[in-house]
């Protein structure tokens, strides 16, 4: 399975100490060089900077030399992640931002976000979903109460 990721899902999985869900659910993960660069900016969370400075062996960074010009409404990491997913015919793109998700879906790229990862991990009994969501809520991740109730209701 070829899985490409944008920056924010990796960031939030690190912040809630669940980064190992990625290799457990997907095996290998590919990020574009622009996503790696976003992780290294001075105002990126220190945990993210430290993680990408010594990346795990299940992560591959791939150079994207030409960005799809029709993606200029998105930030550079999203542009590169969607472009890379198209170039390598990814089976899945991990992305959270609404416009990026919609754009990827319109291009036929299957997507999953942070909550989808947590839900899948819970369904495989890898995590306690209510605990993971509680930890996620201590970050600046935005999630509606309705979505939380829906997810937790499915797990009951």
Give the pLDDT of residue 155: 54
Give the pLDDT of residue 144: 74
Give the pLDDT of residue 149: 78
pTM: 0.92
Q: Which of 1, 81, 71 is nearest to 33 (CA)?
A: 81
Report the sign of the C-alpha dihedral through residues 106, 121, 19, 138, in that order.
Answer: positive
Give the pLDDT of residue 154: 60
Give the pLDDT of residue 142: 83
Give Cα 40 to chain centroid, integer Å: 16
- pLDDT tens across the length of the chain (156 residues): 999 999 999 999 999 999 999 999 999 999 999 999 999 999 999 999 999 999 999 999 999 999 988 999 999 999 999 999 999 999 999 999 999 999 999 999 999 999 999 999 999 999 999 999 999 999 999 887 787 777 777 654
Give the pLDDT of residue 129: 93
- Can you list the domains of the chain with their CATH numbers? 3-114 (3.40.50.1010)
């Amino acid at each position: 399975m070829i899985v490409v990721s944008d920056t924010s899902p990796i960031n939030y999985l690190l912040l809630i100490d669940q980064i190992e869900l990625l290799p457990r659910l997907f095996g290998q993960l590919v990020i574009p060089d622009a996503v790696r660069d976003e992780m290294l900016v001075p105002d990126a969370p220190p945990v993210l900077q430290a993680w990408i400075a010594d990346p795990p062996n299940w992560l591959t960074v791939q150079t994207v030399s030409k960005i799809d010009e029709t993606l200029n409404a998105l930030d550079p990491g999203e542009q590169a992640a969607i472009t890379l997913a198209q170039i390598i015919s990814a089976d899945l793109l991990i992305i959270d931002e609404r416009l990026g998700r919609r754009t990827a879906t319109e291009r036929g790229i299957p997507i999953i976000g942070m909550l989808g990862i947590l839900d899948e991990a819970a369904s495989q009994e890898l995590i306690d979903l209510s605990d993971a969501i509680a930890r996620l809520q201590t970050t600046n991740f935005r999630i509606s109460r309705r979505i939380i109730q829906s997810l937790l209701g499915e797990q009951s």
